[in-house]
């Protein structure tokens, strides 16, 4: 019974965290001040290939998942699959809903506010579902794989900055080809490139790890 309760709590944390990330990704795109690096890359590629964003993101995640399976398969779990399937489509739904409601982010102050809120939501959502320890998204796991393979000489926060920088490079190339460079790369992209890794680690240590440890009665290592 206790095991089932812990599993349910962790599962709910995964769902809540990943939905937060999906909503934030959609808001980032609507603010048009640059998407997060991974989304910027996938948006650029999907535009070049004329493919739905959610479908392209699922395909890219699947490719990364193969590499994670080869090197650190313990990072694969419920959270991995849920993230792969729902982040992209949640972002698409968020954008559709905002448009359907007639909400616009027309002024710079409003767009900056949306950008800041989305940035925090991405990091908080990532921290929450990663702390649940039920598997990570392929892209999030990649940073921890780098940390593990380098025997922690490269910490997650640094590995994430490196990976984000690579994504921005690909986004720059594909965004230029598709004519959407200004929509996918901006101040928000640069902000998350250098802040996502450190902020996820911060929120895990200060908030989500202690929260889930208390809720499940299990101490995080």
Is 142 exposed, middle or buried, given 0-12, 13-18 or 19+ CB atoms closer than 10 A?
buried
Contact 10, 132 (CB under 8 A): yes
Tokens 């039920």 found at:
134
Tell me the per-residue pLDDT of 41-86, one tens digit each, with 9 for 90 and over: 998 999 999 988 878 888 888 888 888 888 778 888 888 888 878 8
Q: What is the pLDDT of residue 167?
A: 94
Distance CA 135, CA 91 (A): 21
**Residue 221, domain member (yes or no):** no
What average pLDDT does the segment 174-201 reach?
88
Which single residue is written with the structure tokens 């949640």? 90
Asked whether residue 158 is domain-assigned, the answer is yes
Answer yes or no: is pLDDT of 221 > 90.
Answer: no
- Asked whether residue 183 is domain-assigned, the answer is yes
Number of folded domains that form the chain: 1
Please compute, for residue 216, the number of CA atoms within 13 A of its CA located in the half-sphere on the CB side.
23
> H helices within 101-155, ranges in order?
108-131, 138-149
Distance, CA of 186 to CA of 111 (rounded, Å): 12
Domain span holding position 132: 2-216
Domain presence at residue 28: yes
pLDDT at residue 219 in the model? 56
Eight-state DSSP code of residue 52: -
In the prediction, which pLDDT does 220 show?
52
pLDDT band at residue 8 using 50, 70 and 90 as cut-offs = confident
Phi, psi values for residue 179, rounded to 5°: 75, 25
Assigned domain for 105 exists: yes
Over residues 16-24, mean pLDDT? 93
More confident residue, 120 or 70: 120
CA angle 98/200/78 to nearest 5° reads 75
The token pair at 47 is 């535009």
């Amino acid at each position: 019974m206790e095991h089932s309760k812990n599993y349910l709590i962790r599962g709910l944390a995964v769902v809540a965290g990943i939905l937060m990330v999906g909503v934030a990704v959609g808001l980032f795109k609507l603010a048009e001040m640059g998407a997060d690096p991974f989304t910027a890359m996938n948006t650029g590629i999907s535009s070049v290939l004329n493919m739905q964003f959610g479908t392209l993101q699922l395909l890219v995640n699947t490719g990364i998942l193969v590499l994670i399976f080869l090197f650190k398969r313990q990072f694969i779990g419920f959270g991995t699959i849920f993230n792969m399937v729902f982040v992209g489509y949640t972002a698409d739904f968020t954008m559709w809903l905002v448009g359907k409601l007639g909400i616009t982010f027309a002024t710079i102050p409003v767009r900056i506010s949306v950008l800041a809120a989305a940035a925090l939501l991405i990091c908080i959502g990532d921290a929450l579902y990663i702390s649940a320890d039920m598997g990570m998204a392929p892209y999030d796991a990649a940073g921890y794989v780098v940390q593990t393979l380098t025997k922690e000489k490269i910490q997650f926060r640094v590995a994430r900055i490196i990976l984000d920088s690579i994504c921005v490079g690909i986004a720059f190339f594909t965004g230029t080809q598709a004519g959407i460079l200004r929509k996918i790369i901006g101040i928000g992209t640069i902000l998350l490139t250098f802040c996502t890794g450190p902020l996820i680690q911060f929120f895990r240590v200060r908030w989500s790890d202690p929260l889930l440890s208390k809720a499940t009665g299990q101490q995080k290592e």
